[in-house]
């Protein structure tokens, strides 16, 4: 327990190390909540990285942020973002802006000659992603879509266990990532804002889907997708069925606001952060795959009933410390890439492009609860056999927006979600549970 407390304390508050003579100078585009963990703290304990400036639309917020995080310089106001890009002293720009702004400001940063670390998702769709990496290649710059678990030694260990072959071939995969959104996020959080690229799939999907793509070394096809929506065009929950190579089925569930349980759903569920890979001769499951640096467990089970649990915080090869966060490992690889060295782990342009292709495909397949119930009633019972459902079916037919597909456009990709509330939604949700499940 003491070692756990010590490691977490050092992970969340790493030491400041002496810098090299000419460290990489990083500017933060956006005074974001993610930046302290994603880049500010990791930079403190990296001898070759220095965060020197932050920009925000609001000048007072930029000033306060710079003061709170000991950043020497700040830019604010309407021209704040561009002023940062025009700063000749900067080498790298970290983009922690809302999803819908990633494409615009990554393109501007690359045009300004800056290397870029852009928070996931890198763009709103595949087309934008291709353009971003094409410009980076044209300019000879490093562009990384940040997704920190890929760089942590825990995921490498899980892949090694699968690749060793003792468990046989993969037969099935399952992942769930669910949060207490009602407690963790405000009602006007950017995750719930369509115009800012919100939604459960856009915010949480990189974790389970990227893990599965990496562990199986293959790209999936989307079989089906079901959405529960918080508001128009914004999915609160998304359940997706995928098919990987050799017809390996996979289920992915992402949920920004887990429902409670018990009477009137008063009791909160425990967060859902597990990923399981079933194989011919056993299974391997990782708990807390989104944040393995804080705590995780890799459980391996075999057909003969044997079970073992592993935890990996430090790599067997390359640099690293037990207290390094996944963000710190990510920064190490980014600096290695930029300095011309071979990083231990990396996310290629192809990886990010393929990831967005999957997300586009999920949105094009998605169905709402209303659609699912309608299809079930029509195919299994027939309208004439269930006259009691006529009012509901009429209601459904009037709600044309319930049938939706995601627009593949360079702007924020859209789809129409039902956002009804009150007794109608409750009634239909009950019917969906009773007859679809």
**CATH number for 64:** 3.40.50.720
Phi, psi torsion values for 119, nearest 5 degrees: -60, 150
> How are strands ordered across the β-sheet holding 73-76?
73-76, 49-56, 24-29, 92-95, 115-119, 143-146
Same domain, 154 and 135: no
Same domain, 99 and 23: yes
Same domain, 48 and 114: yes
pLDDT tens digits, residue range 288-331?
988 899 899 999 999 999 999 999 999 988 899 999 999 999 99
Task: Specify if 335 maps to a domain.
Answer: no
pLDDT at residue 49 in the model: 99
Nearest C-alpha neighbor of 200 from the set 275, 254, 251, 123:
254
Task: Specify if 324 maps to a domain.
Answer: no
State the Cα–Cα distance between residues 220 and 204, nearest whole angstrom: 17
Same domain, 112 and 70: yes
Task: Specify if 415 maps to a domain.
Answer: yes
Same domain, 162 and 282: yes
Helix (H/G/I), strand (E/B), else coil: 187: coil
Say if CB 171 and CB 248 are below 8 A apart: yes
Same domain, 142 and 156: no
Task: Specify if 198 maps to a domain.
Answer: yes
Task: Specify if 351 maps to a domain.
Answer: no
Task: Specify if 189 maps to a domain.
Answer: yes
Same domain, 243 and 128: no
Task: Specify if 176 maps to a domain.
Answer: yes
* Domain count for the chain: 3
Q: Which residues of the chain have pLDDT under 70?
A: 179-206, 228-235, 257-261, 264-269, 271, 367-437
Of 114, 120, 156, 301, the active-site residue reads 120
Q: Whole domain around residue 405: which residue ranges?
A: 367-436
Same domain, 43 and 83: yes
Q: Among 319, 351, 375, which residue terminates a domain?
A: 319
Q: Among 92, 113, 146, which residue terminates a domain?
A: 146
pLDDT at residue 6 in the model: 86
Beta bridge partners of 243: 221, 249
pLDDT at residue 200 in the model: 59
- Axis crossing angle, helix 390-398 with helix 423-431, rounded to the nearest 10: 110
User: Could you tell me how many residues make up the chain?
Assistant: 437
**Is residue 314 among the annotated active site residues?**
no
Same domain, 378 and 309: no
Same domain, 139 and 183: no
Task: Specify if 12 maps to a domain.
Answer: yes
State the Cα–Cα distance between residues 337 and 269, nearest whole angstrom: 41
Same domain, 387 and 306: no
Beta bridge partners of 222: 242
Q: Among 280, 295, 319, which residue terminates a domain?
A: 319
Same domain, 206 and 265: yes
Say if CB 195 and CB 100 are below 8 A apart: yes
């Amino acid at each position: 327990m003491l070692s756990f407390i010590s490691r977490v304390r050092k992970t969340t508050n790493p030491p400041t190390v002496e810098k090299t003579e000419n460290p990489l100078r990083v500017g933060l585009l956006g005074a974001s909540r993610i930046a302290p963990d994603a880049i500010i703290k990791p930079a403190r304990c990296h001898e070759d990285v220095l965060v020197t400036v932050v920009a925000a639309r609001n000048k007072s917020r930029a000033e306060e942020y710079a003061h709170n995080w000991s950043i020497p310089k700040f830019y604010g106001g309407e021209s704040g973002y561009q002023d940062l890009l025009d700063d000749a002293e900067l080498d790298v720009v970290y983009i922690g802006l809302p999803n819908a702004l990633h494409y615009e400001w990554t393109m501007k940063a690359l045009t300004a000659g800056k290397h870029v670390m852009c928070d996931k998702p890198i763009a709103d769709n595949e087309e934008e992603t291709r353009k971003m990496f094409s410009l980076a290649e044209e300019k000879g710059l490093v562009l990384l879509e940040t997704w920190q678990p890929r760089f942590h030694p825990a995921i490498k260990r899980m892949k090694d266990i699968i690749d060793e072959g003792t468990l046989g071939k993969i037969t099935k995969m399952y992942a769930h990532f669910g949060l207490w959104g009602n407690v963790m996020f405000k009602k006007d959080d950017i995750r719930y804002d369509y115009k800012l690229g919100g939604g459960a799939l856009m915010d949480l999907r990189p974790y389970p889907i990227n893990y599965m793509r990496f562990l199986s070394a293959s790209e999936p096809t989307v079989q089906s997708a079901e959405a529960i929506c918080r508001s128009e065009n914004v999915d609160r929950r998304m359940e997706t069925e995928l098919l990987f190579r050799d017809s390996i089925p996979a289920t992915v569930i992402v949920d920004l606001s887990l429902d409670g349980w018990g009477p009137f759903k008063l009791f909160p569920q425990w967060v859902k952060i597990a990923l399981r890979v079933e194989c011919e001769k056993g299974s391997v499951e990782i708990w807390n795959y989104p944040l393995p640096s804080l705590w995780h467990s890799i459980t391996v089970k075999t057909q003969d009933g044997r079970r073992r649990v592993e935890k990996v915080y430090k790599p067997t090869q390359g640099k690293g410390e037990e207290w390094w966060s996944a963000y710190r490992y990510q920064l190490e690889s980014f600096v290695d890439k930029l300095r011309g060295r071979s990083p231990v782990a990396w996310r290629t342009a192809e990886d990010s492009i393929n990831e967005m292709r999957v997300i586009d495909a999920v949105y094009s397949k998605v169905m709402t609860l209303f659609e699912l119930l309608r299809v079930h009633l029509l195919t299994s019972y027939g309208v004439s056999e269930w006259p009691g459902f006529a009012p509901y079916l009429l209601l459904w037919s009037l709600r044309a927006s319930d049938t939706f597909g995601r627009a593949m456009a360079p702007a924020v990709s859209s789809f129409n979600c039902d956002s009804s509330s009150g007794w109608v939604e409750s009634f239909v949700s009950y019917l969906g549970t009773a007859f679809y499940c």
